[in-house]
A = this chain, B = another copy of it.
Amino acid sequence: MLATTMSKPGGPEMLEITTVADPVPGPDEVVIDVVAAGVNRADLLQREGRYPPTPGAAPYLGLECSGVVSEVGASVDRWRVGDEVAALLAGGGYAERVAVPAVQVLPVPSSVSLLEAAALPEVVCTVWSNLVTIGRLERGQTVLVHGGGSGIGTMAIQLAALIGARSIVTCGSQRKVDACVELGVDVAINYRDEDWASAALESTAGRGVDVLLDVIGAKYLEANLRALATGGRLVIIGLQGGVQGELDMGRLLTKRVSIHGSTLRARPPIEKGEIVDQVVEHVWPAVEAGSVRPVIDRVLPWTDAAEAHRVLERGDNIGKVLLQVGVAHPNR
């Protein structure tokens, strides 16, 4: 089969489509003929050699895909050849075919096309597990998310509304602020125009936010703690602003807050399967009903993976960037 590979780590120009061995499903796995793959920031780090592939997973880029099941492992009874699915991957989405544990596979909601479905697994599983399971966000509480226009941000706005929580996002442009407002965010702060932490405190009458979903890390650590309410939870899923943070532990204790480091990719399949099950139970009905929808910035042919990476690096996108790999099943 063909897959997007790199002869060595480097810039987007290192990505090339080459012939590799076909995946062979383990007894608990299925093989998916990929229709589309989602592009994630973690892919950029992996391309640069700063986030090595998970042991045992396909070594190629790609943490989510949609497609059609083409092989089923001996112990799998949940899926059949021909099923249209989306999947949360540990790697290998930028390829014609990928093997994935059956527990990480989701059905395609009838409200979205098979291609669009590739925009859902990573952001929905990431946002749900971090806001609800780790962050314990509840109805009536407030969540703040950095990068409101990102794939994560656009989904967090929608899932906060689904939970009945109030949402605040930070954005780097008026265009993104407008898009977040369109999606129903309660407060969108342009961090280039004002001190976002002060604005967040102001919009909560000085109380602070209950949950803060952060992709920045060190650069925002102090301001994140400042923006949290007493008893608040800071969930860190990315370190775009650096790794070594200065932690004011006095504030940590006085406010009785918690800081959670979280990554999805490295979790074992059993944990990913639990997250997938929760998402199918709690989020998929809202996707079916159209109240939660994939926000897709653009779809590029997978031969343009380098350009897709550049879009994310520039932060040009609002919502997800997808790579179309194959052609959707004729009956859709």
**Interface, chain A (partner B; CB < 8 A):** 134, 217-218, 221, 236-237, 239, 242-263, 266-267
Contacts and interface: CB of A to CB of B under 8 A. Distances in A.
A267 B231 CA distance: 10
Contacts of A259: 252, 258-260
Given A218-B247, A218-B249, 9 more contacts: A221-B247, A236-B253, A239-B250, A244-B247, A245-B247, A246-B246, A252-B259, A256-B262, A258-B261
Contact of A261 (B221, B245, B252, B267): B252
Contacts of A262: 253, 256
> In the complex this chain forms, how many copies of it are found?
2
7 contacts: A218-B249, A242-B249, A243-B248, A244-B247, A246-B246, A256-B263, A258-B258
A249 B250 CA distance: 18
Interface majority SS (helix, strand, loop, mixed), chain A: mixed
A235 to B, nearest CB: 9
Contacts of A261: 249, 251-258
Contacts of A250: 239, 243
Contacts of A217: 249
Contact of A237 (B218, B245, B246, B253): B253
Nearest to A221: B247
Contacts of A251: 261
Contact of A244 (B134, B246, B255, B258): B246
A249 B243 contact: yes
Nearest to A218: B249
Contacts of A248: 243-244
A252 B236 CA distance: 9
